[in-house]
Structure 1
Amino acid sequence: MSRKVLITGGTGLIGSRLAEMLIDAGYDVALLSRQSTTGRYRSFRWDPSHGTVDEAAIPYADYVINLAGASVSEGKWTAERKRDIMDSRLGGTELLFRELAKGKHHVQSFLSASAIGIYGDSGDRLVDEETAPAPAEDFLADVSYQWELAGLKVQDLGVRTVVMRLGIVLSPEGGALPQLARPVKLGAGVVLGSGKQYMSWIHLDDVCRLFMQAMEESHWQGIYNAVAPSPVTNQEFTETLAAVMHRPLVLPKVPAFGLKLMMGEMSEIVLYSQRVSAEKVLRQGFKFEYSQLRPALESFYREEE
């Protein structure tokens, strides 16, 4: 049986680990990339900003996993950066829809990323997939909402479609964790803002296993939160990280206004409170390898005494 997976954003944090795990599980993997990649994966070229894609890409695939999008945590959110964050997600997803609509393919399922940013700043209220998105004035919520709409259109083509709302993906290789761990490592770790804001996190390997299970099992359909079942406050997160790294915590908190001065609008990523339910993926039969924060962090920093 042919088992070919096409990944967009395959050189990013999630995509590169997912590609490795798929290969280990016996799949053939190809990347849809703006640059020709060399190495262990076949690659097809595309350029979402110009609407061009190798015509052989979609016909290659049994499964398409769409992760492409400019990072929200690199660089200040200038008007240009925000446009890039939005366009890189919508352009790629709409291009995939256009190619799938041609119908000359055997794609069984389409999986697309989104983010829990869609819920906005929800305080200590537990939110789930039924919770209404935050208003469009909230940039991250608007990006996530538009991205989901573009991805869910693929359902109309008769292709099983799954959208994963990603929490804070934990990996020492990229994303938020290295930025949070750096000051802790230097003995200058601090709680951010009030420290009471919730962080809904997930271990990188669990994200990849979640995508793989949703890809393989036909009862997965629609929208799911990709978060571990134990969200923590920023204070708990920082204290656990310091304990795992055997470093002291500096007590004064970094006030919200200080973060806004340093990071501008991007400070929303660390100041917003998002307590997100994992109940739906648990009901689907997914078993987390890392359901608690401390073992998840220890898997990365256990060696660092």
Structure 2
Amino acid sequence: MAKNVLITGGTGFIGKYLTDVLIANGYTVSILSRSERKNTSKTFYYKWNVDLGYIEEEAILKADYIVHLAGEGIVEKRWSARRKKAILDSRVRPIELIASVLKKHNKPLDAFVSASAIGIYGAITNDTICNETSPAANDFLGHTCQEWEKAVDIISALGIRTAKIRTGIVLGRNEGFLEKIQPSFKLGLGSVLGTGKQYLPWIHIEDLCKIYLKTIQDQQTSGAYNAAVTDDTTNQSFSKTFARLLGYSIWLPKVPVFLLKIILGEMSLAILEGQRVSSEKIEKTGFQFEFTDLKTALSSCLS
């Protein structure tokens, strides 16, 4: 029988792509959802409500693998104290709920793979290239990712192989990061944010899904992996490349730092700062990126 992968956040941008990749590679997929959805021959939906501590346990009992993608968007709303709590809880509490069911039934898994983020290295801009042994930052993004990954360690303590995918900006057609910036850029109104010197580690959605597939299939993979191309892309170089692909050169002035801080508050740090990361560890597993050139990656998202 085909192995089953249970996905949290399976109806989101990454989850939808990953579902197709898994099915194409012979897996069946189960997806946890807050609402009723219709099953297909290879995709099954189960209800859960983390706030109420409820989950259809059959989803866990049926799974051979679990992929945890659920989580509130980091830059969707200003970071009030309440919003920060929601961002953290939406990442940690689902893992705790899943762990409780695994413990209750002494349920084995072939692997538990969780999203994480390069935000663990903090909202900082410097020349350091961060790898998986680099220290976590003492800011909101760093703290959130640390707690997120600590929750994954609860699963690891059950004797289950775990992997943590520290993801950069994900590029995909009409979704994710590009969905947010495309409208203004297509109108010829693209601009550089702040100094433009902040690094912007990125990964194409196809490569990201292949990394998840790699960590599912390769029993030697465990621990944290950076999922972003190792290059020197900055906000400025990204913006200029994207504008050129759309047929123009950026003519608007840079959006001032002080203005972004007024509009976005503390959340502006997620936009105004950024470090480079190394992809050496995942590549040493034999993984090869298909998209390593920004222009080629962006073109594939526009064609």
Shift of 1:180: 2.5
Unmatched runs of 5 consecutive residues or more in structure 2: none
Q: 1:29–1:42: 8 Å Cα contact kept in structure 2?
A: yes
Structure 2: how far apart are the matches of 1:147 and 1:226?
16
Question: What whole-Å deviation, never above 9, does each CA across 1:203-238 have from its counterpart, x for those lacking one?
Answer: 111111110111001010111011123240111101
Aligned-residue Cα RMSD (Å) equals 1.4
Q: 2:188–2:248: 8 Å Cα contact kept in structure 1?
A: yes
Q: 1:61–1:106: 8 Å Cα contact kept in structure 2?
A: no
Question: What whole-Å deviation, never above 9, does each CA across 1:248-280 have from its counterpart, x for those lacking one?
Answer: 302411111111122222212211121111111
| Aligned partner of residue 156 in structure 2, secondary structure | helix
Shift of 1:43: 1.0
Shift of 1:3: 0.8
2:2 paired residue number:
2
1:129 paired residue number:
132
Q: 2:39–2:45: 8 Å Cα contact kept in structure 1?
A: no
Structure 2: how far apart are the matches of 1:301 and 1:173?
8
Q: What letter corresponds to residue 117 of structure 1 in structure 2?
A: G
1:15 paired residue number:
15
Question: What whole-Å deviation, never above 9, does each CA across 1:179-220 have from its counterpart, x for those lacking one?
Answer: 233222111111111111100000111111110111001010
1:91 paired residue number:
93
Shift of 1:122: 4.2
Query: CA 1:110–1:101 in structure 2 vs 1: closer, same or farther (change >3 Å)?
Result: same
1:105 paired residue number:
107
2:205 paired residue number:
204
Shift of 1:5: 0.5
2:35 paired residue number:
35
Q: 1:73–1:176: 8 Å Cα contact kept in structure 2?
A: no
2:144 paired residue number:
143
Structure 2: how far apart are the matches of 1:295 and 1:35?
38
Moved over 3 A (4+): none
1:236 aligns with 2:229: no
Shift of 1:79: 2.3
| Aligned partner of residue 73 in structure 1, secondary structure | coil
2:51 to 45, 49, 52: 49
2:78 to 73, 76, 79: 76
Q: What letter corresponds to residue 288 of structure 1 in structure 2?
A: F
Query: CA 1:39–1:73 in structure 2 vs 1: closer, same or farther (change >3 Å)?
Result: farther
Q: What letter corresponds to residue 124 of structure 1 in structure 2?
A: D
Matches within 5 A, 1:281-292: 281-292=282-293
**Normalized against structure 1, the TM-score is what?**
0.94
Q: 1:206–1:289: 8 Å Cα contact kept in structure 2?
A: yes
Q: What letter corresponds to residue 54 of structure 1 in structure 2?
A: E
Q: What letter corresponds to residue 127 of structure 1 in structure 2?
A: C
Q: 1:32–1:46: 8 Å Cα contact kept in structure 2?
A: yes
2:226 paired residue number:
225
Number of equivalences = 300
Question: What whole-Å deviation, never above 9, does each CA across 1:51-96 have from its counterpart, x for those lacking one?
Answer: 1111211110011001111111212222222221111111101111
Question: What whole-Å deviation, never above 9, does each CA across 1:120-171 have from its counterpart, x for those lacking one?
Answer: 1142211110000001xx1111111100000122111111000101101112
1:119 paired residue number:
121
| Aligned partner of residue 43 in structure 1, secondary structure | strand
Structure 2: how far apart are the matches of 1:5 and 1:231?
35
Shift of 1:46: 1.2
Q: 2:171–2:301: 8 Å Cα contact kept in structure 1?
A: no
2:188 paired residue number:
187
1:257 paired residue number:
258
Query: CA 1:228–1:144 in structure 2 vs 1: closer, same or farther (change >3 Å)?
Result: same
Unmatched runs of 5 consecutive residues or more in structure 1: none
Q: Which moved more, 1:59-68 or 1:177-186?
A: 177-186
Q: 1:73–1:175: 8 Å Cα contact kept in structure 2?
A: no
Structure 1: how far apart are the matches of 2:230 and 2:134?
17
Q: 1:59–1:104: 8 Å Cα contact kept in structure 2?
A: no
Query: CA 1:262–1:172 in structure 2 vs 1: closer, same or farther (change >3 Å)?
Result: farther
| Aligned partner of residue 26 in structure 1, secondary structure | coil
Q: 2:3–2:27: 8 Å Cα contact kept in structure 1?
A: yes
Q: What is the identity percentage for the equivalent residue pairs of Structure 1 and Structure 2? A: 42
**Normalized against structure 2, the TM-score is what?**
0.95
Q: 2:125–2:198: 8 Å Cα contact kept in structure 1?
A: no
